[in-house]
Amino acid sequence: MRRESKRSGVFTRRALLIGGTQLAALGFLASKLYQVQVIDGARYATLARNNSVSARLIAPPRGRLLDRFATVVAGNRQNWRALLVAEQTGDITATLDRFAALVSLSEHDRARILREVRQHRRFIPVTIKEFLDWDEMARIEVNAPDLPGIMVDVGTSREYPFGELLAHVVGYVAPPNQKDIADDAILALPGMRVGRAGVERFREVELRGRAGAVQLEVNAVGRVIRELDRQEGTPGEEITLTLDAETQRQVMGHLGQESASSVVLDVQTGEVLAMATNPSFDPSLFNSGISQAQWLQWVSDKRAPLINKAIAGLYSPGSTFKMVVALAGLQAHAITETDRINCPGYLDFGNRRYHCWKAGGHGMLDLHGGLQNSCDVFFYEVARRTGIDAIAAMAHRFGLGTKLDIDMVGVRDGLVPTRAWREAQGKAWNIGDTIVAGIGQGYTQITPLSLAAMVARVATGRAITPHLTRAIGGVVQPGGKAEDWPDMGLPERSMQAVRQGMWAVVNDPHGTAPLAKLALPGVQMAGKTGSVQVRNVSRAQRDNGYKSDKMPWELRPHALFVAYAPFDAPRYALSLVVEHGNAGADTAAPIARDIMTDLLTRDPLAHRAAPQQMASRT
């Protein structure tokens, strides 16, 4: 009995032990099941879904550029392209061979694709071919099972509705290079472009935008079944420029076949209405790729179509510089408005003779007559009395030979020399250098943009600075009112003397630019001619009847003209440089007259729209 009782106790303990163990095991399994299904259920569901879901970044649309009247000058159009995701294809070379059997693929493109696959992470799509037409896209889609890792995507491509007319100022975009991608990984996305010139480059950060994302359901071979979710990227900012596309069109039309540049400003605000360079180029070619033949044609053209001459072309200002010399002489008390200087046709100084453009001379002239007749001898003497440092200081005040803080890249400062500049080169400054600087030649170098700024400052007496941006994302930028710019701080009497001299150049019967006179009733323009030699002319050549217009084109003088109008209520200022145009009075003045006539007839500033309205999407 005792043995049976003992055996029963052992069995009970074993049963309890086994039962407890089983119960603990079941409890452990239940807790794990609860954790997997309830606590970590969402995570595991995501992991499972990721086996069939492909997440990809989407290139954001680039911000548009608008002119002052909301006309699109740089926009986007739909672009079908073929992409390759390396991690979704086993044999990239074989896949590209099958693709090339459907859509042409050059060896250059094939090498680029393989290079980009090596350089990027394997999940980042690489562009195989852009700008597909409908038939090419259809062939790729029909043969998708045989093209693992290849997909057709729709994005945007940059377009420039005005083409060559605005190429230099608006600029262009091109595919990013490795340095660009290293700075910002978003640029590795297919379809991304980087501004390489003009406003496109200067406003790159605002125009780029932020990437979006798309989730795609794919099958075992990576073929897209459907799109599950899409979050579009944040578009780049829409930027409203000060430009008027129609004024730009008119200016380019007046330049015709000349190798020339011109800048048109609102004299009250410094807004750039037109910035034209001729010849020009098609900016869209950089987006799709430049052929070697096209590139060689551009770089071999002696008229340099790729250079924005308005901001990067450096020229001696010639007689357009005489207003600055006059103001410097008045400010330094080297002359007065009524001082008279004799011009016999030359100035002898030391062992050198400095000629006036009029061989017989102008006789006795005061400041008004000196400007009206553009007398070289008068300004030789004014410069000699004033000194180069005082002239340079005045030139800098008027925006010449100094940095203009305009919202563009590639703007050259130019040069107005000083004694210190020359001494820094290890050479001494001499009085002859000062004399030739008096007529804007010698070492002096300026841009058409700085000449336009100079004229706007003469017209208003304010330190107007040119600028190109009116609004960014609807936010108005500063510098849109005359009072935003400080007073030049010069005596009004001096300013009026110079303005009256410019008026006489155009409107007095004996002025040097009668061809610039406006035919508009009651409207007058003030201006100044300039002709700049590009080679020295010896006394022997002059004595033998040297004629610059008989020289080869590249040896002829540059022709310049600067102006503002209306004279009694300045609204517009312009500068014009015609390369090798020979004479400013004959070549540049009539073009400037026609540009100003169009401006005053159409008067784009009379139709100002609020920047907030202009920046709205259309």
How do the domains of the chain map onto residue ranges?
Answer: 2-51, 54-237, 245-280+308-613
| 467 bridge partner residues | 271
pLDDT at 612 over 50: no
Looking at residue 432, its pLDDT comes to 94
Phi, psi of 488 (to 5 degrees): -70, -20
The enclosing H or E element of 90 equals none
Looking at residue 478, its pLDDT comes to 80
Cα angle at 136 between 284 and 163, to 5 degrees?
A: 10
CA dist 563 and 525 (Å) reads 7
Q: Which of 61, 71, 72 lies closest to 604, judged by CA?
A: 71
Looking at residue 215, its pLDDT comes to 74
Six-digit token string for 349: 């100084």
Class of domain 245-280+308-613: alpha beta
Provide the residue type at 316 as one letter.
S
Q: What is the pLDDT of residues 131-183, one digit of tens each?
A: 888 888 888 888 888 888 888 877 778 999 999 999 999 999 998 888 888 88
Provide the residue type at 532 as one letter.
V
Distance from first CA to last CA of the chain, Å, rounded?
104
Band of pLDDT at residue 223, cut at 50, 70 and 90: low
Catalytic residue among 259, 316, 319, 531: 319
* Residue 319 exposure: Cα atoms within 13 Å on the Cβ side: 31
CA dist 535 and 556 (Å) reads 8
pLDDT at 36 over 70: no
pLDDT at 9 over 80: no
Phi, psi of 603 (to 5 degrees): 50, 70
Does pTM surpass 0.95?
no
Q: Which of 272, 273, 274, 245 lies closest to 261, judged by CA?
A: 274
The pLDDT > 90 percentage for the chain reads 57
Residue 47 CB neighbours (<10 A): 10
pLDDT at 15 over 90: no
Q: What is the pLDDT of residues 432-449, one digit of tens each?
A: 999 999 999 999 999 999
- 8 A C-beta contact, residue 127 and residue 117: no
pLDDT at 49 over 80: no
Q: What is the pLDDT of residues 77-136, one digit of tens each?
A: 887 888 888 888 888 888 888 898 888 888 888 888 888 888 877 777 888 888 888 888
Band of pLDDT at residue 47, cut at 50, 70 and 90: very low
Instruction: Return the HEC string of 329-387.
Output: HHHCCCCCCCCCEEECCEEEECCEEEECCCCCCCEEECHHHHHHCCCHHHHHHHHHHHC
What is the edge-to-edge ordering of all strands in the sheet holding 212-218?
53-58, 212-218, 224-231
Region of poorest pLDDT, from 23-27, 350-354, 505-509, 596-600: 23-27
**How far from chain centre, in Å, is Cα 284?**
15
Q: What is the pLDDT of residues 247-273, one digit of tens each?
A: 999 999 999 999 999 999 999 999 999
Looking at residue 54, its pLDDT comes to 67
Provide the residue type at 366 as one letter.
D
Class of domain 54-237: alpha beta
Report the relative pairing of strands 72-84 and 126-129 from DSSP bridges.
Answer: antiparallel
CA dist 527 and 307 (Å) reads 27
Using CA atoms of 468, 474, 475, 478 in order, give the dihedral in degrees to the nearest 10.
Answer: 30
pLDDT at 228 over 50: yes
pLDDT at 73 over 80: yes
| 275 bridge partner residues | 263
Band of pLDDT at residue 543, cut at 50, 70 and 90: low
Query: Considering the chain, what is the average pLDDT of its residues?
Result: 87
Looking at residue 78, its pLDDT comes to 80
pLDDT at 219 over 70: no
Looking at residue 121, its pLDDT comes to 75
CA dist 281 and 602 (Å) reads 27
Looking at residue 22, its pLDDT comes to 72
Positive or negative torsion for Cα 430, 432, 437, 443: negative
The enclosing H or E element of 78 equals strand 72-84
The enclosing H or E element of 508 equals none
Residue with the two structure tokens 């002096």: 444
Looking at residue 498, its pLDDT comes to 98
Is residue 280 part of the annotated active site? The answer reads no
Region 315-325: mean pLDDT is 97
Looking at residue 611, its pLDDT comes to 46
Looking at residue 311, its pLDDT comes to 97
